[in-house]
Amino acid sequence: MDVSSTRPLGRSGLKVTIASLGGGGLGNFFRVIDDASAASVVDAAWGAGIRYYDTAPFYGRGRSERRLGAWLDHKSRDSFVLSTKVGRLMAPARGDLEEDGIFLDPSPFNSIYDYSYDGVMRSHEASLQRLGLDRIDILLVHDIGEMMHGDDAPGHLHALKTGGMKALEELRSAGAIAGYGLGVNEVAACLDCLDYGDPTAFLLAGRLTLLEQNGVKPLLAKCLERQVSLIVGGVFNSGILATGAVPGARYNYAEADEAALAQVRKLETVCAAHDVPLSHAALQFPLTHPAVASVLIGAGTVSSVDRSIAGLSTAIPDALWRDLADQGLVDAELAAAAAQHPG
């Protein structure tokens, strides 16, 4: 694959590179990096041809947005596509900083959920200030749904439906953004949004991977029907599809259990039979579906960017996808589509 090749992003009129850089690593996702190292990561992504970048206020409590914006400030604004999130506001911690254990050494702010009209408008304006840019292309509603909020989910969804969606529609109508969608980990939230909104794209993390495809096919079909794009994140399911079934491998933000390790060992065996590293297959699998516009590279080091670019550039034989399906490791319909329509 040519990582600099582009695909349309829904009906927004934008085109995004099939490889994109996720800004979690720039916010110290499980690893503390300094500003110079963060700049080197973005520099490596740009040098590889990546022109779509995603971030969020929550990533390092503003640190990711500041670092990414400072680097992109030196580029023509029309030379890249940028998305960030709404749904959380950053409040000064004033000596009472809440640690989440995911983003290390965060900026001195605590996050407050707010999916209301005012919350979305304030979040958009604050992100522009942190980024130091005059335009954000896509706003994604961050972590709406039961997986994140549990019993509080209905209240947050009500706030979004009755307020936040109005703000997003107004911003799009005014030309302040080209489109909006969700940035979530659950398929149900995306399917629900197709009923109450007119989204451009969904950033779906961890649900369309070599380890997980359960329930995603109805969403893929509806996205094609509605011309809504998918941006796929979490292709390694927090690491295990990059590291393989090694001791301490992480799966969905926690240490992998034996069932996950056993499944990954089977995936590794099939990939090895075709002389394809597991991580390369994991990166390319989502891009074989026509609803997918881009795969996010989550990187906190230059070497991680380089490995991902290499993984996306590797030729993968159609027989690999067929063998994975034959052994029940990948959904048969998705594997057949992958063999017929390689990324």
17-35 confidence digits (pLDDT tens): 999 999 999 999 989 999 9
Q: Give per-residue pLDDT as tens, 136-156.
A: 999 999 999 999 999 999 999
Q: Is residue 266 part of a domain?
A: yes
Collapsed DSSP state (helix, strand, coil) of residue 216:
coil
- Above pLDDT 70, what percent of the chain? 99
Q: Is the pLDDT of residue 336 over 90?
A: no
Q: How does DSSP classify residue 150?
A: G
CA dihedral 40, 46, 52, 53 (to 10 degrees): 10
Annotated catalytic residue 85: yes
Quote the number of domains for the chain.
1
pLDDT of residue 341 exceeding 80 = no
Q: Is residue 49 part of a domain?
A: yes
- Which tokens is 232 given? 């796929």
Residue 214 is predicted with a pLDDT of 82
Query: Among 85, 143, 180, 323, which one carries the catalytic annotation?
Result: 85
Residue 143 lies in a domain: yes
pLDDT of the residue at 253? 82
Domain range for 319: 6-340
**Residue 272 maps to a domain:** yes
pLDDT tens by residue, 211-240: 999 889 999 999 999 999 999 999 999 899
Three-class SS of residue 235?
A: coil
Q: What is the mean pLDDT of the chain?
A: 96
* 85 domain residue, yes or no: yes
342 pLDDT higher than 80 = no
114: in domain: yes
Active-site residue (options: 2, 15, 35, 59): 59
Kindly report, residue by residue over 234-264, the tens digit of the pLDDT: 999 989 999 999 999 999 888 999 999 999 9
Output phi, psi for 326, to 5 deg: -60, -35
Count Cβ neighbours within 10 Å for each residue of 78-100 and write b for 16 or more, e otherwise.
eebbbbbbbbbbbeeeeeeeeee
Rounded to whole angstroms, the Cα distance separating 39 from 26 reads 9
Instruction: Name the residue type at position 286.
Output: P
Q: Flag whether 1 is in a domain.
A: no
Is residue 320 over pLDDT 80?
A: yes
CATH of the domain at 312: 3.20.20.100
Flag whether 30 is in a domain: yes
pLDDT at 338: 81
**Which residue in the list 53, 54, 113, 143 is annotated as catalytic?**
54
